Structure 1
Amino acid sequence: MASVGATSGRTPQEPGPGEAPTSLPSLAPVPGFGEGEEEEEEEPAEVGAGIHLCVLWNSGHLGIAYYDTGDSTIHFMPDAPDHESLKLLQRVLDEINPLSVVTSAKQDENMTRFLGKLVSQDHRAPKRPEIVFLPSVDFGLEISKQRLLSGNYSFIPDSMTATEKILFLSSIIPFDCLLTVRALGGLLKFLGRRRIGVELEDYNVSVPILGFKKFKGKLPQFLPDSVLQIFKSESHPSVYKVASGLKEGLSLFGRRAPSLIRDLGELNSRLDVIQFFLLPQNLDMAQMLHRLLGHIKNVPLILKRMKLSHTKVSDWQVLYKTVYSALGLRDACRSLPQSIQLFQEIAHDFSDDLHHIASLIGKVVDFEGSLAENRFTVLPNIDPEIDEKKRRLMGLPSFLTEVARKELENLDSRIPSCSVIYIPLIGFLLCIPRLPSMVETSDFEIEGLDFMFLSEEKLHYRSARTKELDTLLGDLHCDIRDQETLLMYQLQCQVLARAAVLTRVLDLASRLDVLLALASAARDYGYSRPRYSARLLGVRIRNGRHPLMELCARTFVPNSAECMGDTGRVKVITGPNSSGKSIYLKQVGLITFMALVGSFVPAEEAEIGAVDAIFTRIHSCESISLGLSTFMIDLNQVAKAVNNATERETDEEVDGLALLAAVIRHWLALGPMCPHIFVATNFLSLVQLQLLPQGPLVQYLTMETCEDGDDLVFFYQVCEGVANASHASHTAAQAGLPDRLIARGKEVSDLIRSGKPIKPVKELLKAKQMENCQTLVDKFLKLDLEDPSLDLETFMSQEVLPAATAIL
C-alpha cells in the first residue's frame, strides 16, 4: 500500500477529533525556579517530573531517545543527518527542554564542544540541563538490543513468547537505525541507574515504561532506508564481513535517504536552481560548474588528518585544487542571478580566506619535490637557512671527493682507494674496501681511525676529518627535514584557523552538485516542476510516470492520481497480474518523494500537499540473515505502518484476505484522520463479499484490460471500477505451465466461485484405483499358504482391509 498523507487545515500539533495530542507535554516548573506566583498557581510544580534525553552523534548522523516522566513513555527519533554544528540537536533541545542530557563519555569533539556551550549559555528552561556521561560500553549495539528486548514492559502481555516479543517490538522500534538503538540502550541504563520515578520503591520495582513512540514534533521527517526500495542495505550472515555486517545494494541517492522538507521556501529555492540550469543558454555554465565541482574533494578528512599531524603529500595537492576550484565556483556564481539563494550564498560565503589559503599553499609547498621525496618539502626563498643547508647538501658530492683524496694520502699504501659518504642520522664516514689480509675483526683496526661497521665488503670508519665535518655541517638531511616539518605545522595552523570556510565550501558545493545532477535528469527525461500547496489535503498528479520503469519499457503509459479532501482516502486497485498495479503505487510514492526533496518530477503536472512519511508494503526482501518467513516480513512492515501512520502519511498490499480487510477497516475507522492509502490486491472477494464499509472514503480502481480471444491485452491505464476476474490463468500460461493444469485451475476456480464441492479428476482417480488394485494383487501372490507361521487373519486386517478403502 502506498499512501500519501495530507493534513487538514489545522497546525501539525493540533489534535483532531478523538485524537490524543501529539505535541510534547510541557514541563512543570521546578520549585524555586518559577517566574511568578500566578504561574505557580496555574501549573503546580511536580517534583521529579520532566524529560531525560539520551543522544549520540557519529559520522554526521544523530540518534535521539528520551523518557517523559509525565506519561512514562519513551520517545525516539530514527537516525537523522545533522551538521557538525548539531543544529538539529539544538532544535530538539529547544522543543523538549530536558532536565538531563545523557551521552557517551567517548564523544566526538563536535559533541564535546556543543555540550560545553550548552552548560555555559543561559538556557531558556527553568533549569539548565544536567549533562550525564556514561561509559561508552553502556552504548554498545548488542548490549543495547538486549536491554530493549529483555525489558519488562506493561504493555506487552506475559503470555507472549520471546520470539513474539521480538517481532512486536521490531514493529515499533527501528532496529535498523543503529544510533537510535544505542541511544535507547543508554537511556534504559540511565533510567535503571537513577531509578527515575521509583526512587522510594523497592529495588525490584522497575522504572515504568508504558510505551514507545516516534518523536516528530516540529522537526523534518526522515525516511527509512527501505522506503520505496531505492535505499537498500541488508544484514549479511557472513562472519567475515566488516563490523557493520551490511552489504550495500542499488542506491539512487546514496547510502542515506534525504529528508522530507517541510519548508516551502527551501523547496522552491532548490527548484529555482534546477529550473535555471534547464534553460538552454545556461547549459555551458552548468558544464563548467560540473568540472569545477569534480576537483572538490573530501576536505573534512584532510582537516582531521591535519589535526592529528598525519597529513600526506597528496592531501596538500587535493586541498590546493579544492580551494582554487572553490574560488572558481565563487567567481562563476557572482556572475549568476543573485535572486537565487544558493548562488548568493556561494558568492558571499566563499570568502577571501580561500584565496589566502590557496596563496599560502602555492607559495610554500614544493609539489614536485614533495612527490619525489614522498614528504613535505618547501619551495626556495621561503627560509634562507633551509636554502643554505640545501645548497650545502647539493654541493656535498664534489666536496666529499676532495676530502677523500686528502684522506687517501694519509692511509697505508696497500689501500688502493677510499671515499667519504654521508648517511642521515649517522653522519660522515670514511669508506675503505676490505683487503684480502683483513680476515679477523682485529685486522680491521687502523691507527688514527675508529672502526664503525662492515657492509658489502667495505669498512666504514670515523676519522678526524669526518668528525670535523659532523661538527661543522651537522646532520644536514635531518635538519632540513625538521625545519620543513616546522613550516608544515605552521601552514597547517593557518589552514585550520580557516577550517570553517572550508567546511562551508563542502556544504554548499555538495548542494550545488546534487541540484546539477537533478537538473541533468530533469533535462534528459522530461521532468516538470512540482507545485506545493499548504492547503491541499493530499497530492494531485497528472500523467505521472515511474522514473525507472519508463527507461526500461518500450512504451510507458502515464497515469494520474488525485488524493484530495475526505473522498477516496483509501483507493483499492484490482486487476490481473502484470497489469501495472505495483508500478502505479511506486510511481505515486516516488513522485511525492522526489517533490519533497526539492526535485523535478516525472509528470506533466504535480501539486503536493503536506506529507509526514511514506510507508510501503510492496515487496518482501527475503534473507536468511533475518530469520523470518516472507509472510512474517509482510506483517512486520504492515505493523510499522499501522503503529506510525497519521492522517498526513502514506501506505501497499497485505497477504491474507482477512488481514487486508482488518487493516483497511482500522484506517477507515479513523474517519477524517485516515491517511491516503493505495491498496493493490488480487483478492476480488474483498469487493464481492463487501468486506469494506461503503462510503466516500473508499474508491475502487482497476487496471484496464481487454480479452482478445484467448489473449489478454493490457492497456496499463488506471480507471474507476473493479476487475471482473484475476486472469490468473493467463499469467500461468505466460509462465509456461501445462494447458491441462491451467484448465484444471479454471475448473476449480469456477467451483469455488459457485460454491459447489470440488471433486477429483475422474481419469486420475481411475488410474489411482488400478494402481492400488495391482499392489494388493501382488501382495496376495507373494503369500506362501504352506507356511505354518502365516496368520491369514492378521494379513486381512493389516494389509487387505486398509487398502480396500482406497480401491473402492
Structure 2
Amino acid sequence: MPKRKQIRAEGRGTSDDTDDSSNESGSPSDRPDGKRVRWQGKGGLTLQDEYSEASSDEEVSEPSEKTQQTCLAALCSHGSLGCAYYDPNTRVLSLLEDTQDTLHFDLTQMLLEQVNADVVLTSTRSDDEFIDALNGHMEGKDSLFQIRPCKDFAASKGKSRLLSLSRFATLASDDHVLPPSSDTGSDSSRDRPHNAYDFMRSRREVTGDPTAKRWNASVRLSNFASVDSAPLCMASVGALLDHIVRERASTDFDDDGVGSLDICDIEILSLDQVMQINADALLSLQVFENESHASVHSDKTKEGLSLFGILNNTKTTLGRTLLRTWLLRPSLSLQVIRDRLDAVGCFVRPENLSSASLLRTHLKGLKNIPRIMGLMRTGKSKLVDWQGLVKFTYHATMLRDSLSELHEASGIDVVKKLIRALDTATFKELGSRINEIIDWEESSTNERVCVRPHIDEDLDNRKHVYHGIDSILSTVAEQIADTVPPDFAASLNVVYFPQLGYLICVPMLEEWRSEAGIQPIEGWSFQFSSEYIPVSS
C-alpha cells in the first residue's frame, strides 16, 4: 500500500516513540501513550489515538521496504542549519556541518530537492519558519515528515552514537606495541599471562580496551567532521541513528543497537549547485575573520582582515548578507558564474561608470524591506519604518531608470532580471498612496503615525472626540461637583485614562482617618492615596 506523509507532535515521556513503521511488530510495549497528529494529504491534520487501528496488520507486509528508506534529519536554530542524511543503498552517512541559511531557506530547499528523502526528521525546537519550509516541501509527496522531541536532538548524544559505530569503535590489535614477555618456557606456559603486559594484552584481545577504543574513535571521527564546532549537525546525527535503530528493531529481533548498523562510510554532504565549505577551511583560507572590539568591556566583534572584508563594497544590509552567502557557498553552476562575470564586465565599462556610480547611490538609500514588512505585519512598525518604505519606492524607481541608461546591457541576464523585478508603476502608486494617507508633519510632531483627515470617517469622529476631551472633562467635573458636599471637598480634579475611565481626585482630610481605615462619603470607595494627590472614586 502507498506510504502516507505524517507530522507527529510529541511531548515529554516519548524518548522511545516511533512512527507507524516502528509499530508494525504489534507489540504493545512498543507503542507510546498519548496522541499524535497525522498528516493525510489534503485531509488536513487529524488527532488519533496511538492504539487506534491505523497501525493495523495491513502495514506489516512491507518490512523490507521500510528498512530501505532514505532518511534525513535536520535542525535549524537562529538561522543556522545542520543535518545528517543516510542512504541505505550505498550505506553512506552524509553530514552537513553547521552553516548559515538564508531568510528564505534556499539552502534547505536545495538540500531537500537533491536528497529527496523518504523520511525527514526535525526537532520541536527548530525555528517555526524552518518547520513550515519543510512541511511545504513535503506536502503532496509520498514521504514521511516527523517532528521529534527536542531531547532526541542532543549534540552529546549524536557524538556518542557516532563513536559507537563499528567503523570507529573497532580497534585493531597492535600487539607489537607491547613489550614481549621474558618467559621462554613451553608453549602452554607462554599462553598463560605471566606479567602485567601479558595480562593487558590478553584482556584487549578478548574484550578490547574501552578507553583506547574511545580515544581511537574520537581521533578517526575528527577526520570526517568538526564535532565541537557543529552542534546542530551532531544533534541531527543522534536523532537520525536513533530512528534507524528503531526501524531495524521493528523487523530484526537480533538488533544490537547503533553498533550493529551497517554504515560503511561517512562523508561530508556535497551539494550539486554550490560548494559547501566547512568552518576549518573558511578559517584556514581567511575568508572571514572576526576581530574583538577595541574596548575590553564590549563583547561585539567586527570583520577583520579577510577576503570578505576586502570584497565587501556593498551599500545595503541585504547586499552584505548576500555576499556573505556567496562566500560561504560558492556557486558551482557555470551559467551563474558566467552571468555574474558578464554583469561585472558591463558595470566596469568606461561609458557605464557614471551610471554605475548612480546605481550605488540609490542602493545606499534602500532600507531593509523584509524587516520593515515583518514589523508592519505584526503592527509594530514606527514612523521611521513608513518613511523607509516610501524611500524604497523612490530609490527603486530611480534604479530602474539608471539600469536603462547602461550601454550594451541588453544581453546581460542579471540586468534583465533586475529590470523585470523593478515594477516602477507599482512603486509609484504605492508611494503616492502612502503620502496621501499619512500626515508627515503631524506625525513628526507627535512622533507617531498620524492619518490625514477625510481618509476614514470613523477615525475622524474618534479624533474629534479625543481633541475635545478637555471640555468633556470640565463638564464631567461640574456634574460630579454637584454631588459632593461642600464640607467634604472644596475642589476636585477629573482625569481620563483610556484603560480605566474617569478618575476623580480629591484632597485628603485628616478627619477621614479612623481605626477602621479611611472612610469616604457614602457612595464613594477609597482606591489609593499618594503624598500629593489622594484619590477616591
Same fold (TM over 0.5): yes
The change in CA–CA distance for 1:286 and 1:157 in structure 2 (over 3 A counts) is same
The change in CA–CA distance for 1:434 and 1:215 in structure 2 (over 3 A counts) is closer
In structure 2, what is the equivalent of residue 271 of structure 1?
341
In structure 1, what is the equivalent of residue 158 of structure 2?
144
Cα deviation digits, residues 248-298 of structure 1 (max 9, x gap):
765442766332323232222222332333234433433333233233333
- In 2, the alpha carbon distance for the partners of 1:145 and 1:248 equals 32
In structure 1, what is the equivalent of residue 495 of structure 2?
421
* Percent of pairs with identical residues: 29
Check the 8 A contact 1:273/1:342 in 2, yes or no: yes
- In 2, the alpha carbon distance for the partners of 1:195 and 1:353 equals 57
Larger Rg: 1
- In 2, the alpha carbon distance for the partners of 1:250 and 1:185 equals 37
Q: Helix, strand or coil for the counterpart of 1:216? A: coil
Matched, 1:219 2:293: no
- Work out which of the residue numbers 455, 464, 474 in structure 2 matches 1:391: 464
- In 1, the alpha carbon distance for the partners of 2:124 and 2:520 equals 63
In structure 2, what is the equivalent of residue 185 of structure 1?
238
- In 2, the alpha carbon distance for the partners of 1:146 and 1:82 equals 27
Matched, 1:168 2:224: no
Check the 8 A contact 1:230/1:250 in 2, yes or no: no
Cα root mean square deviation, aligned: 4.2
Amino acid at match of 2:495: I
In structure 2, what is the equivalent of residue 131 of structure 1?
145
- In 1, the alpha carbon distance for the partners of 2:78 and 2:233 equals 14
Q: Helix, strand or coil for the counterpart of 2:261? A: coil
In structure 2, what is the equivalent of residue 528 of structure 1?
none
- 1:113 to partner: Cα distance: 3.8
- 1:85 to partner: Cα distance: 5.1
In structure 2, what is the equivalent of residue 53 of structure 1?
72
- In 2, the alpha carbon distance for the partners of 1:428 and 1:325 equals 48
Q: Helix, strand or coil for the counterpart of 1:55? A: strand
Check the 8 A contact 2:169/2:214 in 1, yes or no: no
Matched, 1:69 2:88: yes
Q: Helix, strand or coil for the counterpart of 1:49? A: coil
In structure 2, what is the equivalent of residue 100 of structure 1?
119
- In 2, the alpha carbon distance for the partners of 1:151 and 1:368 equals 69
- 1:190 to partner: Cα distance: 1.7
Matched, 1:253 2:272: no
Check the 8 A contact 2:158/2:237 in 1, yes or no: yes
- In 1, the alpha carbon distance for the partners of 2:298 and 2:93 equals 33
Q: Helix, strand or coil for the counterpart of 2:220? A: helix
Q: Helix, strand or coil for the counterpart of 1:270? A: helix
Cα deviation digits, residues 68-102 of structure 1 (max 9, x gap):
22232212234456555555445544444433222
Check the 8 A contact 1:100/1:129 in 2, yes or no: yes
In structure 2, what is the equivalent of residue 544 of structure 1?
none
The change in CA–CA distance for 1:276 and 1:448 in structure 2 (over 3 A counts) is same
Check the 8 A contact 1:155/1:211 in 2, yes or no: no
Q: Helix, strand or coil for the counterpart of 2:93? A: strand
- Work out which of the residue numbers 346, 361, 375 in structure 1 matches 2:418: 346
Q: Helix, strand or coil for the counterpart of 2:260? A: coil
- Whose relative contact order is higher, 1 or 2, with alpha carbons under 8 Å and at least 6 apart? 1
Cα deviation digits, residues 673-703 of structure 1 (max 9, x gap):
xxxxxxxxxxxxxxxxxxxxxxxxxxxxxxx
In structure 2, what is the equivalent of residue 761 of structure 1?
none
- 1:67 to partner: Cα distance: 1.5
- In 1, the alpha carbon distance for the partners of 2:386 and 2:393 equals 11
Check the 8 A contact 1:196/1:207 in 2, yes or no: no
The change in CA–CA distance for 1:398 and 1:246 in structure 2 (over 3 A counts) is closer
- In 1, the alpha carbon distance for the partners of 2:249 and 2:517 equals 82
- In 2, the alpha carbon distance for the partners of 1:152 and 1:68 equals 17
Check the 8 A contact 2:224/2:266 in 1, yes or no: yes
- 1:65 to partner: Cα distance: 2.3
- 1:208 to partner: Cα distance: 1.8
In structure 1, what is the equivalent of residue 186 of structure 2?
none
- In 1, the alpha carbon distance for the partners of 2:232 and 2:517 equals 70
Aligned counterparts, 1:727-746, within 5 A = none
In structure 2, what is the equivalent of residue 685 of structure 1?
none
Check the 8 A contact 1:174/1:181 in 2, yes or no: no
Check the 8 A contact 2:289/2:303 in 1, yes or no: yes
The change in CA–CA distance for 1:197 and 1:65 in structure 2 (over 3 A counts) is farther
Amino acid at match of 2:95: F
TM-score scaled by length of structure 2: 0.62
Amino acid at match of 1:130: L
Check the 8 A contact 1:55/1:183 in 2, yes or no: yes
- 1:434 to partner: Cα distance: 4.2
Check the 8 A contact 2:273/2:331 in 1, yes or no: no
- In 2, the alpha carbon distance for the partners of 1:81 and 1:457 equals 57
The change in CA–CA distance for 1:155 and 1:232 in structure 2 (over 3 A counts) is farther
- In 2, the alpha carbon distance for the partners of 1:430 and 1:268 equals 75
Unaligned runs of 5+ in 1: 1-45, 463-808
- 1:461 to partner: Cα distance: 5.1
Amino acid at match of 2:155: L
The change in CA–CA distance for 1:203 and 1:456 in structure 2 (over 3 A counts) is same
Check the 8 A contact 2:123/2:149 in 1, yes or no: yes
Amino acid at match of 1:73: V
The change in CA–CA distance for 1:361 and 1:227 in structure 2 (over 3 A counts) is farther
Aligned counterparts, 1:83-482, within 5 A = 83=102, 86-121=105-140, 128-153=142-167, 156-157=170-171, 160-175=212-227, 176-195=229-248, 199-203=252-256, 206-216=260-270, 218-224=272-278, 225-232=282-289, 250-253=305-308, 257-306=327-376, 308-312=378-382, 314-336=384-406, 337-351=409-423, 353-355=426-428, 357-365=430-438, 377-401=450-474, 404=477, 416-434=490-508, 445-446=520-521, 453-460=528-535, 462=537
Cα deviation digits, residues 416-459 of structure 1 (max 9, x gap):
54443323323234444445766559886457766654444445
Check the 8 A contact 1:56/1:62 in 2, yes or no: yes
